[in-house]
């Protein structure tokens, strides 16, 4: 159990779960042998390695490290991971797991040992994780300051330690005020006078996205007390995504507008659980509700349809697919027969839409379908985009030297858009 001594400015609790599968380590006595003790369980992941000799213990360590790092992999299988790891000294140095975000400390750490231990939570994970979270059950404030001062410069404390929650909340309030100055309401975004004003709104809302993720790691955080109500946030987000898509529309490629060079950082909006498979489950619910009839059925239909449309408008990963899914809802779902399966019909509709879009892409750019498909495949498995030379090889007619850069850039953008619509963010839905 954690001791009751805490840093005065913070309170925390650390429930420690128990599990019959938790391995226990025992000191080796002089009479101990290398055979597996009766108390050591046999498991598939290597944790049944005997810890009574060096090789066996190293196998155990590697297997446990692999399970701790399992959350770094996509997709993540919960059965392969570890939710909480109790340690004394091991794993506090020389071990990295980017998704590890919180450490509960009940140990008199100091100097390099303290810095090393804290750093286990400090591996940055893109825009999803900008800092680690340390919860202390001992008063380590002075030791932390001393360690940072020793290994950093005199201003290191301001860089290494994130500000108190009150400071983070103040920054968020200032960002919201700045956003309201540009667009007092979400509808006001539609009336912005020019592209420069639209870019200013996009920058202001992007700052909201950056700051919004930070306070959530504080125990004092209460989302209901934020100065930007959840519904306003969703409405602003929809306008933000409208502008992001606006820059992809065909126009004068030689004249870049204020939005073209702006990084919208859509990774701040992505949520893994919201994908085409999730939308398809909602569509199945919608179809079932239409057959229920009565007031209750109608209310369920309206609520489910609204949920689908809100997700299509508000989720960055679904926004590119909005046109295809809305077309299915309007054209095919109403004609669905009683013996037809929603999933099968949707898969056929999706495949046909993808095929038609791919044929149009090849015809528009003068690309050979087989070659273009082959250079697009690696994007799905390795996230590697085609090299410029590979793009040129897909074309039936080579572009002129002066046009080469523009043509390659246009085709790469068309490929990204196509993959983003039809191939990415599908979840367990398979249209093949």
Return the exposure string of 8-20: e unless at least 16 CB atoms fall within 10 Å of the residue's CB, then b: eeeeeeeeeeeee
User: What is the H or E stretch that residue 105 is in?
Assistant: strand 102-105
User: How is residue 263 written in tokens?
Assistant: 């990084």
For residue 29, what pLDDT is reported?
35
Domain assignment present for residue 284? The answer is: yes
Q: What is the CATH number of the domain that holds 197?
A: 1.20.58.910
Q: Is the dihedral of CA 308, 314, 319, 323 positive or negative?
A: positive
Do 283 and 367 share a domain, yes or no?
yes
pLDDT tens digit sequence for 103-135? 899 999 988 888 888 888 877 665 566 677 888
Domain assignment present for residue 182? The answer is: yes
pLDDT band at residue 158, thresholds of 50, 70 and 90? low
Average pLDDT, whole number, for the chain? 78
| Pairwise CA distance, residues 201 & 183, whole Å | 7
For residue 26, what pLDDT is reported?
35
For residue 175, what pLDDT is reported?
95
Indicate the residue among 219, 239, 268 that finishes a domain.
Answer: 268
pLDDT tens digit sequence for 80-110? 888 888 888 888 877 777 778 788 999 999 8
pLDDT band at residue 48, thresholds of 50, 70 and 90? low
Do 398 and 293 share a domain, yes or no?
yes
Do 288 and 264 share a domain, yes or no?
no
Domain assignment present for residue 147? The answer is: no
Domain that holds residue 242: 165-268
Q: State phi, psi for 363 to the nearest 5 degrees.
A: -65, -40
The overall pTM is greater than 0.75? no
pLDDT tens digit sequence for 351-396? 999 999 999 999 999 999 999 998 888 887 777 888 999 999 999 9
Query: Within 10 A of 428 (CB to CB), how many other CB atoms are there?
Result: 10
Do 263 and 280 share a domain, yes or no?
no
pLDDT tens digit sequence for 225-282? 788 887 888 889 888 988 887 776 544 455 567 888 888 887 777 654 567 888 888 8
Do 338 and 260 share a domain, yes or no?
no
Question: Which residue reads 């913070």 in tokens?
Answer: 10
Indicate the residue among 215, 238, 268 that finishes a domain.
Answer: 268
For residue 129, what pLDDT is reported?
67
Nearest partner of 117 among 128, 102, 129, judged by Cα: 102
| Pairwise CA distance, residues 52 & 355, whole Å | 60
Do 258 and 315 share a domain, yes or no?
no
Do 334 and 226 share a domain, yes or no?
no
Domain assignment present for residue 44? The answer is: no
For the chain, percent of residues with pLDDT exceeding 90: 24
For residue 357, what pLDDT is reported?
95
For residue 381, what pLDDT is reported?
72
pLDDT tens digit sequence for 185-226? 999 999 999 989 999 999 999 999 888 877 776 767 777 778
For the chain, percent of residues with pLDDT exceeding 70: 78
Do 250 and 294 share a domain, yes or no?
no
Answer for the pair 75, 102: CB distance below 8 angstroms, yes or no. Answer: no
Indicate the residue among 249, 268, 287 that finishes a domain.
Answer: 268
Q: Which of the two residues, 313 and 26, has the higher pLDDT score? A: 313
Domain assignment present for residue 118? The answer is: no
Helices (H), 247-341: 276-290, 294-314, 322-327
Domain count, the chain: 2
For residue 157, what pLDDT is reported?
66
Domain assignment present for residue 137? The answer is: no
Domain assignment present for residue 338? The answer is: yes
Do 250 and 337 share a domain, yes or no?
no
User: What is the H or E stretch that residue 133 is in?
Assistant: strand 133-136
Do 288 and 403 share a domain, yes or no?
yes
Q: What angle do CA 233, 98, 172 make, to 5 degrees?
A: 25
Domain assignment present for residue 249? The answer is: yes
Do 332 and 249 share a domain, yes or no?
no
User: For the residues 166-190, what does the mean pLDDT come to?
Assistant: 93
Answer for the pair 393, 408: CB distance below 8 angstroms, yes or no. Answer: no
Do 342 and 295 share a domain, yes or no?
yes
Pairing of strands 133-136, 102-105: parallel
């Amino acid at each position: 159990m954690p001791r009751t001594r805490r840093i005065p400015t913070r309170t925390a609790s650390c429930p420690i779960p128990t599990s019959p599968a938790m391995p226990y380590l025992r000191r080796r006595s002089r009479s101990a042998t290398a055979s597996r003790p009766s108390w050591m369980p046999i498991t598939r992941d290597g944790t049944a390695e005997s810890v009574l000799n060096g090789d066996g213990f190293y196998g155990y360590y590697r297997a446990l490290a692999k399970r701790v790092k399992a959350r770094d992999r996509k997709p993540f299988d919960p059965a392969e991971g570890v939710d909480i790891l109790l340690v004394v000294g091991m794993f506090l140095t020389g071990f990295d797991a980017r998704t590890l975000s919180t450490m509960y400390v009940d140990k008199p750490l100091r100097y390099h040992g303290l810095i090393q231990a804290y750093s286990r939570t400090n591996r940055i994970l893109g825009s999803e994780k900008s800092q680690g979270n340390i919860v202390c059950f001992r008063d380590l404030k002075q030791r932390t300051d001393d360690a940072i001062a020793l290994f950093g410069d005199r201003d290191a404390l301001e860089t290494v330690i994130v500000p108190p929650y009150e400071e983070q909340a103040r920054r968020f309030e200032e960002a919201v005020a700045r956003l309201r100055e540009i667009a007092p309401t979400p509808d006001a975004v539609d009336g912005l006078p020019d592209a420069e004003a639209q870019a200013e709104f996009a920058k202001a809302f992007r700052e909201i996205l950056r700051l919004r993720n930070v306070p959530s790691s504080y125990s004092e955080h209460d989302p209901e007390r934020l100065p930007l109500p959840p519904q306003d946030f969703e409405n602003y987000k929809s306008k933000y995504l409208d502008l992001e898509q606006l820059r992809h529309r065909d126009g004068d490629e030689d004249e870049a507008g204020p939005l073209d060079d702006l990084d919208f950082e859509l990774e701040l909006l992505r949520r893994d659980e919201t994908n085409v498979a999730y939308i398809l489950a909602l569509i199945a619910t919608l179809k079932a509700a239409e057959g229920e009839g009565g007031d209750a059925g109608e209310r369920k239909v309206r609520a489910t349809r609204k949920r689908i449309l809100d997700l299509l408008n508000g989720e960055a990963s679904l926004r590119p697919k909005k046109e295809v899914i809305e077309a299915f809802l309007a054209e095919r779902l109403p004609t669905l027969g009683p013996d037809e399966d929603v999933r099968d019909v949707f898969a056929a509709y999706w495949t046909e839409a993808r095929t038609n879009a791919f044929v149009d892409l090849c015809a528009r750019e003068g690309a050979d379908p087989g070659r273009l498909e082959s250079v697009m495949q690696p994007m799905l498995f390795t996230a590697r985009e085609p090299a410029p030379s590979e793009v040129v090889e897909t074309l039936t007619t080579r572009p002129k030297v002066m046009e080469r850069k523009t043509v390659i850039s246009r085709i790469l953008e068309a490929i990204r858009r196509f993959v983003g619509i039809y191939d990415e963010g599908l979840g367990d839905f398979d249209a093949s």
